[in-house]
Homo-oligomer: A and B are copies of this chain.
Amino acid sequence: MAAEAVVTMDGWCMLHDSRVFDWASWKVANEKERTEAVAEFKELISKWEAVEEQKNGSQSIYKVVGNKADLIFIFLRPTMDVLEEIQRELNKSKIGDYLIPGYSYVSIVEKTMHNPMDEGRDRELNSKVEALLKPILPKWEHACFYPMARRRWKDANWFAIDKAERTRLLYEHGMTGRKYAGKVKEIISGSIGLDEWEWGVTLFAHDPLQFKKIVYEMRFDEVTSKYAEFGDFLVGNYLPKDDVDTYFSL
């Protein structure tokens, strides 16, 4: 018999969009082209910031450490349509010629429903839950992203065990998370039916060491050691709009 399915509350659509910057071509461009491209890019950021101010979405840009990408953009918007439009606008912009698309991840901000009475009220819940489902990204110094899935193994099948057991395991997991209050903020987004893994996890910290601390400690939680599979991890440093000129200057 099938296990009882989880009911989720779902919020904004989320896009992690990493880009490799083509420095060699950038240097070949003349100074006027570069200046215009950066100015136009900053206008785009301002436009995005206005959306965030109106609480119709949120975004941040991070400088990725290592060679997986140069920049990663994280966008939250009410619809998938807007996310695609943002990408297209970026690609059509002048700086878009140098921002070669890399790894990306599509998901929707998700909270597991504890009270089945709430079912069907997705996206219309009270303000507290709304803040969780439509989160404004904290402008902390560092972000970390990784996708994950739950195992469906013979003796460790997350989708076949009792709901009570799942609740117990997740409660224990939550207790580990609480130790990092104030040090790490977390956004969970669901990607089943949308992208390669089952969930995306986006972490924010003032000190990137805390990413290592929390993920390492959680690896000993039973829900992780027995049921979790992880994709690749990306770590980045926050790029405020004021540093955009410096970032691209030669």
**B-binding residues in A (CB < 8 A):** 1-6, 8, 10, 13, 15, 17-18, 20-21, 23-24, 27, 63-68, 70, 79-81, 83-84, 87-88, 91-92, 96-97, 101-106, 108, 110, 122, 141-142, 144, 146, 152-157, 159-160, 172, 190-196, 203, 208-209, 211-217, 219-222, 224-226, 228, 232-233, 235-237, 247, 250
Contacts and interface: CB of A to CB of B under 8 A. Distances in A.
A152 B1 contact: no
This chain's copy number in the assembly:
5
A194 B80 contact: no
A142 to B, nearest CB: 7
A217 B80 contact: no
A5 B88 CA distance: 45
Secondary structure of the A side of the interface? mixed
B214 A193 contact: yes
Nearest to A18: B67
Given A97-B23, A233-B194, A159 B15 contact: no
28 contacts: A2-B220, A2-B225, A6-B216, A10-B209, A10-B212, A17-B67, A23-B91, A27-B92, A66-B104, A67-B101, A67-B103, A67-B104, A79-B208, A80-B237, A84-B236, A84-B237, A88-B247, A152-B225, A159-B224, A160-B220, A190-B212, A191-B233, A193-B213, A193-B214, A193-B235, A194-B208, A195-B232, A196-B233
A-B complex: 6 closest residue pairs judged by Cβ atoms: A193-B215, A159-B225, A67-B104, A67-B101, A66-B104, A193-B211
B84 A64 contact: yes
A65 B106 CA distance: 7
Contacts of A3: 220, 225
B235 A216 contact: no
